[in-house]
Amino acid sequence: MRPRAYGQYCGFARALEVVGERWAMMIVRDLLVSPKRFSDLQQGLPRIPSNVLTSRLKQLEGAGVVQRRAVSRAQGGGVVYELTPYGAELDDAVIAIGRWGAKRLGDPRPDEIITPDSICMALHSTFRPESAGRTHARYEVHVGPVTVYAIVRDGAVNVGKGPLENPDLVIEAGPAFRALMAREITPEQALKTHVIGIQGDPKYLTKFVQLFRI
């Protein structure tokens, strides 16, 4: 399928021809977290129709953004989708758009879900390296049924899905997690009202708010 054209000789217009279709950037977001099988993408984006996912993947492959890679039998066999080096250059754009969009989140809508990939990208996009300095901190974050981690070291962050061995702080949160990161409530207020639970030294929660903020 030929991409929708805007009729303008402009880099921004060219970019939208590649990733401007619905679901395209959501696929890119999830692949920035890790390579995925088709079924993994369906699980992380449960509302995307199978035919639309197939179409978007073909379009992104054709544009050199996504590629397929065969997986060894030891890893279960089959094929995974991953970003090409060209596709991975979208990381900064996804971070900027995610940080901008987070300002409009408010409370979750009744029909909205969270996924491990969405929380990973939330941490990735709201990380403030200028506040990190030489901080070394290991966070395990539980938001509803989702568990992810963030490891901060020397001004950089590594995020991933699942529990973390020997975290400095475990954070247990629900919708108030956004309010905490937006500084609508302080760490002290969050703990006092029990909208945030922690396991570990509270000073790491104070640092977390400095490191990750909307």
- The matching CATH number, chosen from 3.30.300.30, 3.30.1050.10, 3.20.20.20, 3.40.50.1370, for 116-211 is 3.30.1050.10
pLDDT value at position 3?
Answer: 64
Q: Which CATH class name applies to 11-89?
A: mainly alpha
pLDDT value at position 1?
Answer: 55
3-state secondary structure of 77: coil
Please, where in the chain does CATH 3.30.1050.10 lie? Answer: 116-211
Angle, helices 91-102 vs 24-33, to 10°: value is: 110
Question: CA dihedral defined by 182, 138, 202, 100, rounded to 10 degrees?
Answer: 0
Structural contact between residues 65 and 86, judged by C-beta atoms closer than 8 angstroms: yes
Please give the residue that has the higher pLDDT: either 129 or 108.
129
Residue with the two structure tokens 């199978």: 50
Chain segment 57-84, per-residue pLDDT in tens: 999 999 999 999 998 877 777 899 999 9
